[in-house]
Amino acid sequence: MKDELFTMVVPEMPGVSSETRARWQEEVNRNFLRMKHFSEMVMNPKEPEIGPTPRQEIYRKNKSRLYRYESRRMHRTPVLFVPNLGISRPYIFDLMPRGSFIEYMTQQGFDMYLLDWGVFGPEDNGLTFEDVVTKILPRMARKALESSGARELSVLGYCMGAPISASYLGSTPEFPLKNFVDMAGPIDFAHAGLFAQWLDARYFDVDKYVDTMGSIPADMVKAGFKLLKPTMDLSTNINLWWNLWNPEYVSGFNALNKWANEYQPFPGEFFRQWVKDFYQQNRLVRGELRMGGRPVSLRNIHAPVLAVGAKEDNIAPPGCVKPLITAVSSTDREYVELPGGHISLIAGRGASVHCWPKVASWLAARS
Amino acid sequence: MADASNQLFDMWKKQVEEGSQAWLRMLGTPQAAPMDPQAFWRPFMDQGIAAWSRAMTQGQAPPDLMAQWKQFLDQWIAAWSKVLEQAMGTEAFAKTLGKQMEGFLNAASPVKKAAEQQVETSLAGLGLASRSQLIAVAQQIVQLEEKIEGVEDKLDAVLRRLDAVGGSR
């Protein structure tokens, strides 16, 4: 059905200027398009196409996968992208054509390696944060190095991927690190916002929680994030209604909405250690963490470091990202605070204007 | 129309301030009489809707009225979001949340155990593998994979050493 069938002409009215009439006409047309797209979304929903950038699976370990996104390789050093474990799937970083961080980075000539942690099941409930840092991440980093033939690797940690990477790099000074980028990754949990407050040991008994539940179900993860911003669904739906006339917005919404509603569970022991060592005891920034029998010291990081905070981030507020800069030994270090929230920092139109060019240019000058 | 918008925004700001104060009072004094949160924004919304319908019936609605309304809604949501964030950032809220979670766990724990036992017994009766048995098998596969990886690592190390020895000769 063509959009022309939905048009209605606003009649001429006394005392109404032609300009006003034209603008009313535009609003009427938009309303018809809103109705059309709404009925399509309800009656004939289409599965959005996600992950458009070609990739190759390099290695798999249990549920985790290492993917390579090949570029024209204008830079010698490849980038290992370490996202969050649990919570959500990593296809947000390669959401749709012209709306993908990974696509952008490969276009800028970076070979990208994405560590997809996978979806853990009840058989993985014994997996700890330490296992992730000492068993999965080192192997994936080694495979990325072998696959690329490069001698050094830039590590880019997003969200929880940043403290995971920092714990590894801080306990493995011999790792051939070229650059480290922390994108919205909490480091100093004393400033980690509402989650830090809610997970405080005085109020939240993580041992009881894990012992009872075994793993952290996706629905609980969802409830926690929804509670963090209770008005999010309302504003999302109002924005959808407002932009429903625009087919590009609708396709972007469909892809993002699919991702936003696919919450992932946490392995129980991972969650226990994550909450205790990071949120409750803040051991990373205090230098009290040990991984695989080795002390974790952020002072062991000497490579150039870029930390990126998002102004409106309520998951990893800028105050908990910025301390990385003073905690490392690097002489080449920079902190930038960009517009947006935790997700819009890395996905969406704003990200393509602010964050992606910044990260790409910073890495390009050092790769 | 600009004056009307300004009046609406002023009114909204006042309501939000009063609303936030009331929320904080409510969270700070749990023993106080129950309050109706809608009371804070209902008069404001009623007046907003009245202003909207007046503009429509008088035929003076400018074409960007929708945009103004959207802007108004955005600001209203942003303001409430801020209020809720402040309220949820209090110790009282964290304490309440913790207590609710504890209550949930206390209630869920025996129910979960009983349900799991029931399912295990039923599956055993049918001669089928239970969930815990399947998990145990999956765990063994994971452990086996780790052992194979360990062997791979050792082989790699031996090959590297052999290469190094070969290269030095």
CA separation for the pair B148, B4 (Å, rounded):
73
Give the model's pLDDT for residue A82.
97
Ranking A55-59, B22-26, B131-135, B154-158 by mean pLDDT, the lowest is: B22-26
Statement: residue B32 has pLDDT above 50: no
Statement: residue B11 has pLDDT above 70: no
ipTM > 0.85?
A: no
User: What value does the mean pLDDT take over residues B99-113?
Assistant: 90
What are the residues of chain B with a beta carbon less than 8 Å away from any beta carbon of chain A?
Answer: 62-64, 66, 70, 73-74, 77, 80-81, 84-85, 88-89, 91, 93-95, 97-99, 101-102, 105, 108-109, 112, 131, 135, 138-139, 141-142, 145-146, 149
Closest alpha carbon within chain A to B70: A242
* pLDDT tens-digit series, residues A58-79: 999 999 999 999 999 999 999 9
In which band, very low, low, confident or very high, does the pLDDT at A322 lie, cut at 50, 70 and 90?
Answer: very high
Q: What is the DSSP letter of A41?
A: H
- The residue with greater pLDDT, A261 or A278, is A278
Give the model's pLDDT for residue A312.
92
Give the model's pLDDT for residue A279.
96
Cα end-to-end span (Å), chain B: 90
Most confident of A160-169, B89-98, B139-148: A160-169
User: What value does the mean pLDDT take over residues B4-8?
Assistant: 58
Whether A229 and chain B come into contact, CB under 8 Å, resolves to yes
In which band, very low, low, confident or very high, does the pLDDT at B96 lie, cut at 50, 70 and 90?
Answer: very high
Chain A contacts of B133, Cβ < 8 Å?
A: none
User: What value does the mean pLDDT take over residues A8-20?
Assistant: 75
User: What value does the mean pLDDT take over residues B11-26?
Assistant: 66
Closest alpha carbon within chain B to A30: B66
- The residue with greater pLDDT, A142 or B56, is A142
Statement: residue A181 has pLDDT above 60: yes
CA separation for the pair A354, A264 (Å, rounded):
28
Give the model's pLDDT for residue B112.
86
Count the neighbouring beta carbons within 10 Å of the beta carbon of residue A256: 20
Chain A contacts of B111, Cβ < 8 Å?
A: none
CB distance A121 to A282 below 8 Å: no
Count the neighbouring beta carbons within 10 Å of the beta carbon of residue A186: 30
In which band, very low, low, confident or very high, does the pLDDT at A174 lie, cut at 50, 70 and 90?
Answer: very high
Query: Would the CB atoms of B62 and A139 count as touching at under 8 Å?
Result: no
Mean residue pLDDT of chain A comes to: 92
Give the model's pLDDT for residue B10.
67
Statement: residue B31 has pLDDT above 60: no
User: What value does the mean pLDDT take over residues B80-91?
Assistant: 88
Statement: residue A4 has pLDDT above 80: no
Closest alpha carbon within chain A to B67: A242
Q: How far is B74 from chain A (nearest CA, A)?
A: 7
Query: Would the CB atoms of B109 and A123 count as touching at under 8 Å?
Result: no
Give the model's pLDDT for residue A24.
80
Chain A contacts of B138, Cβ < 8 Å?
A: 121-123
A33 φ, ψ to 5°?
-65, -35
User: What value does the mean pLDDT take over residues A140-150?
Assistant: 95
Q: How far is A233 from chain B (nearest CA, A)?
A: 11
Give the model's pLDDT for residue A208.
94
Ranking A223-232, A295-304, B53-62, B109-118 by mean pLDDT, the lowest is: B53-62
What pTM was estimated for this model as a whole? 0.83
Closest alpha carbon within chain B to A234: B77
Give the model's pLDDT for residue B1.
47
Give the model's pLDDT for residue A1.
43
Give the model's pLDDT for residue A14.
74
Q: How far is B81 from chain A (nearest CA, A)?
A: 6
Contacts 24+ apart (CB under 8 A), A279-284: A279/A189, A279/A192, A279/A195, A279/A196, A279/A199, A279/A200, A280/A199, A280/A200, A280/A201, A280/A206, A282/A188, A282/A189, A282/A190, A284/A163, A284/A166, A284/A167, A284/A170, A284/A187, A284/A189
User: What value does the mean pLDDT take over residues A199-206?
Assistant: 94
**Secondary structure of residue A308 in the 3-state scheme:** strand
Please state, for a pLDDT cut of 90, what percent of chain A lies above it: 75
